[in-house]
Amino acid sequence: MPRNFSSVGVVGLGAMGAGIAEVFARNGVGVVGVERDSEQLARGRRHLEQSTGRAVARGRMSPDQQSELVGRITFTTSMAELADCGLVVEAVVERLDLKRQIFAELDHLVRADAVLATNTSSLSVTEIAAATTTPARVVGLHFFNPAPVQALCEVIRTILVAPDVVEDVVGLVRRLGKSPVVAGDRAGFIANALLFGYLNRAVSLYEAHHATREDIDAAMQLGCGYPMGPLTLLDLVGLDTAHEILRTMYRQSRNRLHAPSPALGQMVAAGLLGRKTGRGFYTYAAPDSPQVVGDDETPPSADRPARARQVGTVGLIGTGSAAAGIAGALGARDVEVIHVGTGRAEELSRADLVLDAGADDPAAKRAAFEVLDARCPDAILATTGSLVPVVECAAATGRPEDVVGMHFAHGDPDGPLVEVVSTVVTSAMAADTVRSLCARLGKHAVSCGDRAGFLVDALLFPYLNDAVRMLETGYATADDIDTAMTLGCRLPAGPFEVLDSLGNDVALGVQRALYAQNPEPGLAPAPLLGQLVTADRLGRSTGRGFREHGR
C-alpha cells in the first residue's frame, strides 16, 4: 500500500529548505521545519513569510490562506520532533560530511517505514545513504530554486533504494503539482549535469577574451531564446555553488570540460560570488540586488564609437534560401542590394560591402574570396558561413584586414542576432562597418573571435552533444531530459527537440568542427549522433530523428 506522507520534516530552512516547506504546506501537508539554532530558525520563518507575502501582494493568496499555510509548519530546533514524520527532506548546505551526520542521526530517530530524502544538487546520494543502517529507504529529492515556483523535481534512485520508495516519492511529487523525472545517482543528475557544463564553457570563452560578458549573454538570449545569459545565470546561482557542482562533476567524470574554469575558482577565492555578495561577473547595486550597475569593464563592442564605412550598396552572392532571406532582410530596410549567383562577381564592383552566402565549403570559399578581392577592390568582404574559418577566406585575398564574418545565428536572416567575427588581422573599420549594417537591419550584433562555432554554436552544440551522450548511456530518456531542461532550467525547448529541429546532420558537422579545433574527448561527437545521421534520421526534415515526426 502506498505511503500517505501526511506529515513531512524539512531539515534546513535556508532559502531552499523554506521553499520546500512552503510547497508541502501549500498542498495541505503538515511540516516540521528544523534549524540548528533559534537565529537560523527565525531566518527560515522570515524566508517563508516573505515568499508567501509576495504571493499575497500579487493576489495569488489571501492573508487568511497565508496564515493557514504558515500554521501548518512547526518551527523547531529539535531533531526529535521529526520522529513521527513519514518523510524527512534534508536541505542543508552542500557538505557531504554534514549531510551524512544528519542522516545517521535521522536513521535512529524516525519510524521504520519513514523515507529519508536529500535535496542535494550534486553530491552522491549513495554516499549519503551509506551513513544509515537502512539505505533502502534513502532517495534523492531534488527541488529546483525557487521551489514554490519551479515545476521540476528530480527523484534520484541509488542502487540500494527500494523500488516502492521511489514509486511512493514520485506519487508524492505529482500530488504536489510538480513534474517528476527519475534518474540514477551520478554527479549533477540530469539538469545540472547538462547546465553546468554549458555554464563552464561560457566562463572559458570569457576568460579567453573570445567575447565580452555582455556579448556572451546576449548571444544565448537572442540566439537561443534562453531566459538569461550564462554569466548572468552564474551570478544568480552563486559562483561558489557553481564551482562546487563542477568540482563534484569533474571528480566523477574526469571530463576536463567539467573541470571548473580557473577564472571561476579565482573569483570564488576573491569573494566575488555573484548577486549575493554584490559582485560576480557583473557588479550589483547591493548584495542580493538584481540591479546591475556600471563598473570598469570594457563596454560591449556594439557601444564603442563607430569607425564604420558608409554602406550604400550591398553585394550578395548565393543562390540558396539563406541568400534569398538575407536579400529580403536588406531590402526591407531600404538597402540597395545587388544579388547575383555564382560566377558573376563583376556585377558587384560598385558595392561597398559584399556578403558571400554561397556554399560553406573551404575550396568554394577560398575561390569566391579570391575572385571578390580582384573584382571588388574597394569593398569590405564578409562571409555568412559558419563552418569555414573566416581567416581562410581572408587568406585568399591580398587584403585580409578587410575580411570579416557576418553570421546570422542558425543561418536565420529573420532572427534578431548576428555574430560579427574578426580574425587576428581584421581591421576595426571592417568590423564596425558590419556592426553598423546590422544596426540598420534592426539586428543585435555580438562580436567574437574567429574560432569554431563562433559564440552561439560554440556553447549550444556541446550542450546538445552532452545530452546525446547522456541518452546513449541509458541514464535517462529523451523525454525526461527534455522535461528536465525545459522545466528545471526554463529553456524554450529541450535538447532533443532542438536537435530534431536544427537537424542531426547539422549538429554532427558543427561538433566535428569544434572537436577538430580542440580535440578534447568531451567534444568528440556522440556516436549515437553519427549513427542517426548514417540512418538518415536527421530530424524533422526527414520525418525521423530522436522522435518520429509527421511530414
Would you say the CATH fold of 191-298 matches that of 7-184?
Answer: no
Active-site residue, 444 included: no
Active-site residue, 154 included: yes
Residue 297 pLDDT more than 70?
A: no
Q: Where does 7-184 sit in CATH, by number?
A: 3.40.50.720
Residue 497 pLDDT more than 90?
A: yes
| pLDDT top residue among 488 and 344 | 488
Q: Which residue type is seen at 470? A: M
The full DSSP string for 213-237 is HHHHHHHHHHHH--SS-HHHHHHHH
> What pLDDT sits at residue 277?
93
> What pLDDT sits at residue 94?
87
In this prediction, residues 304-326 reach a mean pLDDT of: 84
Domain boundaries, the chain: 7-184, 191-298, 303-449, 460-534
Residue 307 pLDDT more than 90?
A: no
Residue 139 pLDDT more than 70?
A: yes
> What pLDDT sits at residue 290?
87
Q: Which three cell numbers stand for residue 275?
A: 548577486
In this prediction, residues 143-148 reach a mean pLDDT of: 90
- Angstrom distance (rounded) from CA 363 to CA 207: 33
Domain 303-449, what fold? Rossmann fold (3.40.50)
Residue 237 pLDDT more than 50?
A: yes
In this prediction, residues 21-41 reach a mean pLDDT of: 95
Contact 375, 345 (CB under 8 A): yes
| pLDDT top residue among 550 and 6 | 6
Q: What is the SS3 assignment for 9? A: strand
Catalytic residue among 35, 154, 244, 419: 154
The full DSSP string for 241-285 is HHHHHHHHHHHHH--GGGSPPHHHHHHHHTT--BGGGTBSSSEES
Contact 408, 418 (CB under 8 A): yes
Catalytic residue among 121, 301, 386, 465: 121
- Angstrom distance (rounded) from CA 14 to CA 158: 26
Residue 302 pLDDT more than 70?
A: no
Residue 27 pLDDT more than 50?
A: yes
Dmax (CA) of the chain: 86
**Per CATH, is 191-298 categorized as 3.40.50.150?**
no
Percentage of the chain modeled with pLDDT above 90: 83
Residue 304 pLDDT more than 60?
A: no
Residue 343 pLDDT more than 90?
A: no
Q: What pLDDT digit, counting tens, does each position of 250-272 carry?
A: 998 888 999 999 999 999 999 99
In this prediction, residues 232-257 reach a mean pLDDT of: 91
Catalytic residue among 7, 192, 436, 465: 192
> What pLDDT sits at residue 296?
57
- Angstrom distance (rounded) from CA 305 to CA 184: 53
> What pLDDT sits at residue 300?
47
> What pLDDT sits at residue 83?
95
* pLDDT band at residue 298 using 50, 70 and 90 as cut-offs: low
Contact 354, 380 (CB under 8 A): yes
Domain 460-534, what fold? N-(1-d-carboxylethyl)-l-norvaline Dehydrogenase; domain 2 (1.10.1040)
Residue 346 pLDDT more than 80?
A: no
* pLDDT band at residue 509 using 50, 70 and 90 as cut-offs: very high
Active-site residue, 427 included: no
* pLDDT band at residue 524 using 50, 70 and 90 as cut-offs: very high
In this prediction, residues 458-485 reach a mean pLDDT of: 96
> What pLDDT sits at residue 461?
97
Active-site residue, 244 included: no
pTM: 0.91
Contact 253, 187 (CB under 8 A): yes
Torsion of CA 540, 544, 548, 551, to 10 degrees: 50
Cis peptide bond upstream of 462, omega within 30: no
> What pLDDT sits at residue 430?
96
* pLDDT band at residue 342 using 50, 70 and 90 as cut-offs: low
